[in-house]
Structure 1
């Protein structure tokens, strides 16, 4: 989008498309900022896999769908289903997305050319799509806005675009700073799903006050508000339509931007039109921004205190570039809902404190073993039986990064 993206000439744009094999909103190549691999943790793959959807036309680049690494279902309580997300989106879409015309219909065909791969990608991004759609709903904005990161980056919080844009919303540095996003050594708020989403939605709210309807709003988001206002002035009309390519004088990329959002809205509203089966029954752990205690300095400490694998925290929060929660930036970390509230007492800083003996603590509960259920974490189990996390892990010979699985039996007494 204008202001959020650098200008590209036709030659560089073609090169970017050919190199990346990816269709994004402004046709920039997007590459993931891959997290560090973590050995011995099968639920958090070291690198995401990729499923490629074959092209519709001979000259059309393939839709490259980066499949997100999963978050352990046992990481937190309060699971949701895909149906919750898709029904929320349907309730917030504008009417008539599936009747938008041939331009949007072409993009429906392109997005759903491999229905199973596209549905799998939707399932993989459900936690993040759920988070953003709830933020959109909270701000009273059209649900189409929750699909912008799907157009921009396939919902990759760590996406790095050719020429400088970054994050799910693909912002360039100067505009991100203008909208209050923190960028400094060790931290890039464009890669923070929380900070970037709230800044993008704030910008969209401002644009919505300037324009009547979601279509001119997203045109302005993509091309720049002054370009759209000048086009209105030249045309002598404020009519905006991606299908009719109005107002005249904007880039085809901007008209495509509207058509893509209409196509995605239709695929979610009426998936059967393209033979698509949405992952309505897929279960996932919702994500919530957590304000971290000022004494917690790294995502590693946060992992030890919450029971969430560090690799998952880093994948969800790539804005903390080195895993360190640097001073002077928002201390909001996106975590699975229901994860333990972490204070310094839960981390390494508390290792020197005096702990009650395991015998004394467990004797209070009278339990000798605990069978792990979905939603259990080391923190929640330790709290239930009056133990510290260190005690629970030690008596069960578990490491700090251990992942609990439903049905697993833990010892409470030595």
Structure 2
């Protein structure tokens, strides 16, 4: 008997087999790799060919080397690490200088070995000890020319493992808010980990040149995106600073067209990177990194993107580096708009919250507010503990009314010069740079406020105006 085949059934069976195979492939893809959406996201932050060793170096700095370990490495080729020593970190000035002197001796020793290798080009089988270690740091293919050039490129890097872990703990308080802000501003949420590079999430971070907060905004740049003055300094608030950082990064990307270059511009400056793009005729990150020779485009700028990639990798998968740990809980609060300007003690009494707790919730309020020299401003979005937001507006309004409704923010327009200024008396060992860093301002601003012609000449006991 002739077998009759149902062609429609065969077709349906074939389609079923194909669909089943596609389903298995999809499941395998999900089990062993990123989804297409994730892959597209990761493509914005590639590790370009030639940058792998730099990323791995910064992973060691953040996740392997402790604060008591110091690495001696080549400044331009981070794959070359000559030596890692144990040297206890100390902030005591005498111990600090002793550590620096010991490091300088090791740098000189490595430099001498490199120059000697370049002069003699010895048979590697005859080398031992320090000479063998330096030779092997280069791997095969090195020769006199590379050794001679490397002799002047030795750099020292202390490990940051403890600081990085502390940063991850602190990030737990704010990261959820910052991710939400970045999403609202159209900026990739991965960049919300950038403070791990800028400050390792140190909320009190201040640089020697006046940058402040976890996002390390300078006063001049900060004022473009947020409020920075003697009453409110939003640079000090991780969340408010996060909004400003997202907008700055978005501006960088819109003008430069590349996230690696936009992130580098966060360190080097938008106009500096735009100059690099124009001079080289490309926004390819590795081309810029290798070929751009702008005078300020040094080690920090060239490595900023590699540091970000390393920090991002560790932050997204910290267990291999730090084991199990619990970040601090997400900060919770209610928001209340100040109806009038009021002093901190008056606000604390009105809403029945301890002043210290208000301080922790509102880091954008400056020291002048906490010292009672300035009021919490009218219109300020005050954070109060969760549950307090329902009654706080009425409590504040009643408190203001009881004081005759006359309380208001102290503004530059109605302050005398003396009331507007904060003064500092110069101590032994101070410099304008150290004073500026301590007060969140810049050397130029202090010099202008005090009419200083010679910025290197200040005297002990001199009274300087440091804040407008």
Task: Report the equivalent of 1:261.
Answer: 308
Change (3 A) 1:203 1:282: closer
TM-score, reference length from structure 2: 0.48
1:111 aligns with 2:67: no
Which segment is superposed worse, 263-272 or 110-119? Answer: 110-119
Alignment of 1:61-72 (within 5 A): none
Distance 1:232 1:312 in 2: 47
Distance 2:200 2:163 in 1: 13
Mapped contact 2:336–2:381 kept (Cα < 8 A): yes
* 2:289 aligns with one of 222, 245, 264: 245
Which segment is superposed worse, 289-298 or 229-238? Answer: 289-298
Q: Deviations over 1:96-123 (max 9, x none)?
A: 7688611011111111124676434412
Q: Deviations over 1:357-389 (max 9, x none)?
A: xxxxxxxxxxxxxxxxxxxxxxxxxxxxxxxxx
Distance 1:91 1:304 in 2: 53
RMSD between aligned alpha carbons? Answer: 3.6
Task: Report the equivalent of 1:161.
Answer: 207
Alignment of 1:312-323 (within 5 A): 312-321=357-366, 322-323=369-370
Mapped contact 2:170–2:201 kept (Cα < 8 A): no
Mapped contact 1:304–1:346 kept (Cα < 8 A): no
Q: Compute the displacement of 1:132 (Å).
A: 1.9
Change (3 A) 1:305 1:109: farther
Mapped contact 2:198–2:214 kept (Cα < 8 A): yes
Change (3 A) 1:227 1:111: same
Q: Deviations over 1:370-409 (max 9, x none)?
A: xxxxxxxxxxxxxxxxxxxxxxxxxxxxxxxxxxxxxxxx
Q: Compute the displacement of 1:247 (Å).
A: 5.6
Task: Report the equivalent of 1:204.
Answer: 249
Mapped contact 1:157–1:168 kept (Cα < 8 A): yes
Q: Compute the displacement of 1:304 (Å).
A: 4.5
Q: Deviations over 1:196-225 (max 9, x none)?
A: 322222121111211223211111221122
| SS of alignment partner, residue 333 of structure 1 | strand
Q: Which has the higher contact order (CA 8 A, sep 6+)?
A: 1
Q: Compute the displacement of 1:265 (Å).
A: 0.8
Task: Report the equivalent of 2:228.
Answer: 183
Distance 1:164 1:184 in 2: 13
Mapped contact 2:334–2:388 kept (Cα < 8 A): no
Change (3 A) 1:283 1:171: closer
* 2:389 aligns with one of 340, 344, 366: 340
| SS of alignment partner, residue 274 of structure 2 | helix
Which segment is superposed worse, 324-333 or 103-112? Answer: 324-333
| SS of alignment partner, residue 243 of structure 2 | helix
Change (3 A) 1:348 1:227: closer
Change (3 A) 1:91 1:183: farther
| SS of alignment partner, residue 290 of structure 1 | strand
Q: Deviations over 1:164-189 (max 9, x none)?
A: 2222222222222233x323333323
Distance 1:348 1:124 in 2: 34
Residues paired across the two proteins, number: 260
Distance 2:341 2:393 in 1: 6
Alignment of 1:2-13 (within 5 A): none
Distance 1:177 1:329 in 2: 19
Change (3 A) 1:347 1:178: closer
| SS of alignment partner, residue 335 of structure 2 | strand
Which is greater in Rg? 2
Q: Compute the displacement of 1:267 (Å).
A: 0.5
Distance 1:285 1:302 in 2: 24
| SS of alignment partner, residue 314 of structure 1 | helix
Q: Which runs of 4+ in 1 moved over 6 A?
A: 90-93, 96-99
* 2:216 aligns with one of 159, 170, 176: 170
| SS of alignment partner, residue 159 of structure 1 | coil
Task: Report the equivalent of 1:275.
Answer: 321
* 1:284 aligns with one of 329, 336, 343: 329
Mapped contact 1:303–1:313 kept (Cα < 8 A): yes
Distance 1:188 1:293 in 2: 17
Change (3 A) 1:168 1:333: farther
Task: Report the equivalent of 2:53.
Answer: 102
Mapped contact 2:197–2:308 kept (Cα < 8 A): yes
1:140 aligns with 2:186: yes
Mapped contact 1:152–1:169 kept (Cα < 8 A): yes
Mapped contact 2:168–2:315 kept (Cα < 8 A): no
Mapped contact 1:151–1:260 kept (Cα < 8 A): yes
Alignment of 1:50-89 (within 5 A): none
Task: Report the equivalent of 1:152.
Answer: 198
